[in-house]
């Protein structure tokens, strides 16, 4: 099995010190000192997640299948499978991803499959989206080709409390 990352723990090679002549005193060669700034290496990424997002993004990769509830104060990008509810500031469900449960947040972008419910202020269904369930939203964009089997409810953020009626006697 090959590894994507390699690590080289060897320090820089230094040539061997010349042999000392009899009667000469030798001092060890000076060791290179660490620089004040750490080496900056770019992070490897399969694909760009968001352009210039000030928040962090948690990525559920294609290799992951998660059972349980996911909650984050930041963004979540799902490329794998989640069986459970997902709640975050922004939730993006990738083209090959699947969620069985309720997905909620300020913004939900669906390119994969959700079997459950979406509750978000802003909802975007791309052309590859497959939604089976209700969508409670304030703002919605649906691209041509998106599949929806459920109700669209433009009620996000509204209270469901109805005023009490006085009993007539």
**Which tens digit of pLDDT belongs to each residue from 106-140?**
999 999 999 999 999 999 999 999 999 999 999 99
Length of the chain: 169
pTM of the predicted model as reported, rounded to 2 decimal places: 0.61
Between β-strands 147-149 and 81-83, what pairing exists: parallel, antiparallel or unpaired? unpaired
Q: Which residues contact 81 (CB under 8 A, 6 or more apart)?
A: 64, 65, 66, 97, 98, 99
Nearest to 156 by CA among 122, 131, 124, 132: 122
What six digits make up the tokens of 24?
């000469």
Domain boundaries, the chain: 57-153
100 pLDDT exceeds 80?
Answer: yes
Give 50-90 pLDDT, tens digit per residue.
444 456 899 999 999 999 999 999 999 999 999 999 999 99
Give 146-156 pLDDT, tens digit per residue.
999 999 999 87
State how far the Cα of 156 lies from the Cα of 61, in Å rounded to an integer. 29
């Amino acid at each position: 099995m090959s590894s994507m990352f390699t690590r080289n723990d060897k320090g820089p090679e230094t040539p061997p010190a010349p042999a000392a002549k009899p009667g000469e005193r030798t001092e060890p060669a000076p060791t290179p000192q660490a620089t004040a700034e750490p080496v900056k290496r770019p992070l490897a990424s399969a694909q760009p997640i968001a352009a210039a997002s000030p928040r962090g993004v948690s990525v559920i990769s294609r290799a992951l299948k998660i059972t349980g509830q996911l909650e984050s104060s930041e963004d979540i990008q799902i490329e794998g499978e989640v069986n459970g509810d997902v709640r975050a500031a922004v939730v993006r469900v990738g083209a090959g991803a699947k969620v069985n449960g309720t997905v909620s947040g300020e913004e939900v972008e669906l390119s994969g499959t959700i079997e459950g419910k979406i509750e978000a202020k802003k909802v975007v269904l791309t052309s590859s989206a497959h939604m089976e369930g209700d969508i409670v939203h304030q703002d919605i964009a649906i691209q041509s080709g998106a599949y929806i089997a459920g109700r669209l409810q433009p009620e996000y953020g509204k209270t469901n409390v109805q005023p009490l009626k006085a009993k007539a006697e």
